[in-house]
Structure 1
Amino acid sequence: MSSTTTPATPTRTWLPLAVVLITQMMIVLDSAIVNIALPDMQQALHIAPADLSWVVNAYTLAFGGLLLLGARAGDLFGRRTVFAVGMTLFTVASLLGGFADAGSHLFLARAAQGVGAALVAPSALAILMGLYPQPRDRTRAIGYYTIVSASGAAIGLIAGGLLTSYASWRWVMFVNVPIGLVVLGLSRAALPASRSQHGRIDVVGSLLSTAGMTALVYGFISAAAHGWGSGSAVGSFVASAVLLAAFVVVERRVAQPVVPLHLFADRERVVAYTSRLLLVAGSMGAFFFLSQYFQLVLGWSPVRTGMAFVPFPVSVFISSQLATRVLVPRFGGRAVMLVGMTMSLVGLVLLTGVGVGTTYAQLVVSMVVFALGNGTAFVPLTEAGMVRVAPHEAGVASGLVNVTQQLGGAVGLAVLVTVFATAGPGAASGPGASAAAKELFVLGADRGFGVAAGLIAVAVALLVSLSARRRTPRSEATTSGAPTQAEAVLEPAA
């Protein structure tokens, strides 16, 4: 069993909280910050158009494929140790990526960043959960974590636009280096140490989970680039199904599995994972289509496009703080999840009316409603993903939270790009594009927003069914009938 040194009061945990939040910010925004810099990267490194997507995909594949292994490594070898190894790799890879003089070098650096992120992310969330033993304090910490997780993509777009326009594309890589060094310098003193558990890595299960997750993520990437019927997409999905099925068989038999399958026996946790995946998938529509709309239809610069997303993190901050301090303690996590997800759904439905002549003032209302919903929902969703988890399995559970977020991004991009393509050829517009081309673009975008809303509607239906079902409290972490600390947050105050 692992043992973590936990400070007695929240006032003694502000520094480790800051370290965890800064780390999460680096990881989340790193998948978005390069998007605005892609044209400059392509020109500077002479990357072929067909290969440009690998600047993003190399990171996504490595991160998504290794998350489960990284989570288990933190549980077995000590979360602070694994955190330090991952952060070192992430920082060095960022430095090498900034100095890349060829596309292949940049791709390798991005993949190494993904490996580092897969080691860091699960340990960071598990450490955060251990820092706050009291439900109210833990919920507030999760609120800050939510701000970072839910608004990281928007902040990445803002930062990417500023750095690309006023410095260089290389600074979207270099910016991680000083931050990573500061985090490494503080982590040993700030983060609580956890003793490594007796046990070893399940080698066969680790290989199967890594290969299966990588194939699954690659399948969605291929579907986005080449269509759902392409050989690479179909082959990847088939390979993933076979590998993950074999993984489940192995995990049922080994004494120390990479992912204890009983974590999926809790209905509330599974609904939280699924809802998080669908919410992130739907959110991809807002960022993917709006960032293109601002630049391709309205002809805005990268800086102006990035700044257009400022209301998103601001709204997430406001709503997540309201959720942690007022809504969750008063009404319970399940009700707040449902309200937040419904607001996100309404925001996306409003965006389906975007047209060539739509103004930013009209768009920002929809963006704010959507962001307020995300900030409200993500707080209890994160908490529910860790509910009733034994301390020695916190790393695995946090890894599953991160896996659903990564898969959500890949699923959303693949589905929405395919839907967008139904508008027909010529839908890609530019500042000098014809009115007909712009009309095709907004037609595809409106369809994409509609499907994104449909994904979140499924999550709303799942949460309604969860709220309607009278669940008998049960704990995996304790043998008593009393609610665990995490479970208490999900119930309304008496």
Structure 2
Amino acid sequence: MKAQHPGLVLATACVCQVLVVLDVTLVNVALPSVATDLDIAPASLSWVVNAYTLALGGLLLLGGRFADLVGHRVAMLVGLVVFAIASVFGGVAQSPAELIAARAGQGVAGAILAPLSLTVLMVAFAEGKARSRAIGIWSMVAAGGSALGVLLGGILTESLSWRWVLLINVPIALAALLLAIFSVRNTHTARGGRLDVAGAILVTLSVSALVNGTIQAAGHGWGSSYALLSFLIAILAGAAFAAWELRVAATPLVRFGVFRARSVWVAQIVILFIGGATVAGFYFASLYLQDVLHYTPIEAGAAFLPFCFGSVLGAMSSAPLAARFGRRTVMTAGLLFGSAGMYLFSLADADSTFAGGFLPPSILASIGIGLCMVATTTMATTGVAEHEAGLTSGLLNAGRQIGGSLSLAALTTVAVSASTHSTALDAEHALAAGYSRAFLVTAAFILVAALAAATLTPPTPAPQKIKDKVKVA
């Protein structure tokens, strides 16, 4: 079923996606102020980001299924209302626990909105040029919003308070709410069945335990009882999730048959590593600018503007370049650019300047990531049946968020360890050494994604649709 106003649907999808991605970058630039105001230790600060990305990544598949069952408009309205309420609670938080809980609440709402923003496009636009163009605009707006969020976060933090990086979500959610009411039909792409809550709990528990174990290793060591217990829980919950989905669940959260489509599983591999590199990259770049180069929040936000323009340029160029040279070539080239940019970030130190140490890698990495993100998203949704729209969108977004959560936890450990063991004589050079090591790992992550894209991506879009039907109770 097609929406009545495809143009308005596209606008609604873009605002919803901006709301989801903006919330990560808005908070990143405010992290030093949050840490000071609420007295959060450096090793624990990543939970302000991870509480959001973990809830988002762990519940995305449930969110996609929820939207397919109750209808797209109803699900979108629910997600926007919950996002606004959680933002208010976060904006008035008086302790780290309250802020982290509010961030988790935003993640729950984002788990509905993120896959739904892509799903409504797949339903509103027929496969082909119209859908590719819509996805290109959606990706471009998301990329630009993500980067501009750092500038907005800096302005709000310095001129008002860090609390406004959360409160600003309320008017954005209300605007999206009005758009959704008038543009999105209450389409149901799944009939019958029920939500696989047990599956969502198991996968979220597994990923959360893995992230917690990595963070515990930073403070207590990899062989500590805290870390080992968390890793054991992660393994057991992961195994239980697989067994539940394959043998018990009446309506599985993940229908593993969808991975028979090569385009789907290759896109998942690529997006996992891209998410790991970009979420961690924004986090450490924000800290580097403020803690090492002593930029104000506004100056730090402005420093990300070249990244914003590069992301938009890459996203705009992706579709025409893919049409001329092929999706595999564009994805591989973009990822190689992104990896090179992250490597150049790793060379920056406490004596670097913006023009010499931050600007060149920003341009290279942003153009590369913009190029590959659009091509990867288009590949993942090509040939997917309409009733699989929520699942495919959820998988793609879940891969990016889970990859980001795991990477951020691991690289926080890497950065803290490198800073602690640095021979630098002052704090700025020691911090820079830790951030440099983290950026080096992000470069490796994107390089792995480039190798996967070059060797595994189908040379032409797969024409067949996935024929397996969603299993219903």
Same fold (TM over 0.5): yes
The structure with higher relative contact order (CA 8 Å, sep 6+) is 2
The answer to whether the 8 Å contact 1:277/1:404 transfers is yes
Q: Alpha carbons of 1:412 and 1:173: their partners in 2 closer, same or farther (altered >3 Å)?
A: same
1:105-131 Cα shifts (integer Å, max 9, x gaps) = 333322221111112211121112222
Per-residue deviation at 1:411?
2.4
Match of 1:453 in 2: 443
Per-residue deviation at 1:422?
4.0
Per-residue deviation at 1:186?
1.9
Query: Distance in 1 between the 2:144 and 2:159 partners?
Result: 23
The answer to whether the 8 Å contact 1:269/1:385 transfers is yes
The answer to whether the 8 Å contact 1:427/1:438 transfers is no
Structure-to-structure mapping, 1:345-424, within 5 angstroms: 345-362=339-356, 363-424=358-419
Of 192, 200, 209, the match for 1:198? 192
Q: Mark the runs of 5 or more structure 1 residues left unpaired by the alignment.
A: 429-433, 480-494
1:392-432 Cα shifts (integer Å, max 9, x gaps) = 1210111111111111211221232233234342769xxxx
Match of 2:17 in 1: 24
Query: Distance in 2 between the 1:51 and 1:445 partners?
Result: 16
The answer to whether the 8 Å contact 2:3/2:184 transfers is no
Per-residue deviation at 1:478?
8.6
Of 290, 304, 312, the match for 2:285? 290
Q: Tell me, what secondary structure is at the counterpart of 1:336? A: helix
Aligned residues: 466
Match of 1:36 in 2: 29
Query: Distance in 1 between the 2:220 and 2:64 partners?
Result: 32
Equivalent residue letter for 1:443 = A
The answer to whether the 8 Å contact 2:14/2:142 transfers is no
The answer to whether the 8 Å contact 1:80/1:123 transfers is no
TM score, norm. by length of structure 2: 0.89
Q: Alpha carbons of 1:96 and 1:335: their partners in 2 closer, same or farther (altered >3 Å)?
A: same
Q: Does residue 331 of the first structure (1) align with residue 322 of the second (2)?
A: no
Q: CA RMSD in A?
A: 2.8
Q: Tell me, what secondary structure is at the counterpart of 1:33? A: helix
Q: Tell me, what secondary structure is at the counterpart of 2:352? A: coil
Per-residue deviation at 1:240?
2.2
Of 150, 162, 182, the match for 1:157? 150
Query: Distance in 2 between the 1:304 and 1:407 partners?
Result: 30
Match of 2:294 in 1: 299
Structure-to-structure mapping, 1:93-492, within 5 angstroms: 93-195=86-188, 197-223=191-217, 228-253=222-247, 254-324=249-319, 326-362=320-356, 363-425=358-420, 436-467=426-457, 474-477=464-467
Q: Tell me, what secondary structure is at the counterpart of 1:389? A: coil
Q: Alpha carbons of 1:270 and 1:130: their partners in 2 closer, same or farther (altered >3 Å)?
A: same
Query: Distance in 2 between the 1:150 and 1:342 partners?
Result: 18
Q: Tell me, what secondary structure is at the counterpart of 2:276? A: helix
Match of 2:81 in 1: 88
Match of 1:61 in 2: 54
Q: Alpha carbons of 1:225 and 1:27: their partners in 2 closer, same or farther (altered >3 Å)?
A: farther
Query: Distance in 1 between the 2:366 and 2:80 partners?
Result: 29
Q: Alpha carbons of 1:424 and 1:88: their partners in 2 closer, same or farther (altered >3 Å)?
A: closer
1:256-305 Cα shifts (integer Å, max 9, x gaps) = 21110112222332121111111221224532333222222222111101
The answer to whether the 8 Å contact 2:67/2:75 transfers is yes
1:291-323 Cα shifts (integer Å, max 9, x gaps) = 222222222111101110001111111111111
Q: Tell me, what secondary structure is at the counterpart of 1:34? A: helix
Per-residue deviation at 1:175?
0.5
Query: Distance in 2 between the 1:250 and 1:46 partners?
Result: 41
Equivalent residue letter for 1:160 = G
Equivalent residue letter for 2:367 = L
Q: Alpha carbons of 1:216 and 1:147: their partners in 2 closer, same or farther (altered >3 Å)?
A: farther
Q: Alpha carbons of 1:215 and 1:435: their partners in 2 closer, same or farther (altered >3 Å)?
A: closer
Query: Distance in 2 between the 1:404 and 1:452 partners?
Result: 16
Query: Structure 1 or 2: larger helix share?
Result: 2
Q: Alpha carbons of 1:416 and 1:335: their partners in 2 closer, same or farther (altered >3 Å)?
A: same
4+ runs deviating over 6 angstroms: 468-472
The answer to whether the 8 Å contact 2:328/2:457 transfers is yes
The answer to whether the 8 Å contact 1:68/1:396 transfers is yes
Q: Tell me, what secondary structure is at the counterpart of 1:418? A: helix
Per-residue deviation at 1:49?
6.8
Q: Mark the runs of 5 or more structure 2 residues left unpaired by the alignment.
A: none
1:232-272 Cα shifts (integer Å, max 9, x gaps) = 44333322222222222222234421110112222332121
Q: Tell me, what secondary structure is at the counterpart of 1:355? A: coil
Query: Distance in 2 between the 1:437 and 1:426 partners?
Result: 12
The answer to whether the 8 Å contact 1:79/1:193 transfers is yes
Q: Once structures 1 and 2 are overlaid, which stretch shifts more, 301-310 or 62-71?
A: 62-71
Equivalent residue letter for 2:324 = R
Query: Distance in 2 between the 1:232 and 1:97 partners?
Result: 29
Per-residue deviation at 1:372?
0.3
Per-residue deviation at 1:440?
3.0
Query: Distance in 2 between the 1:398 and 1:385 partners?
Result: 8
Query: Distance in 1 between the 2:222 and 2:64 partners?
Result: 31
Q: Alpha carbons of 1:386 and 1:233: their partners in 2 closer, same or farther (altered >3 Å)?
A: farther
TM score, norm. by length of structure 1: 0.86
What fraction of aligned residue pairs are identical, expressed as a percent?
Answer: 39
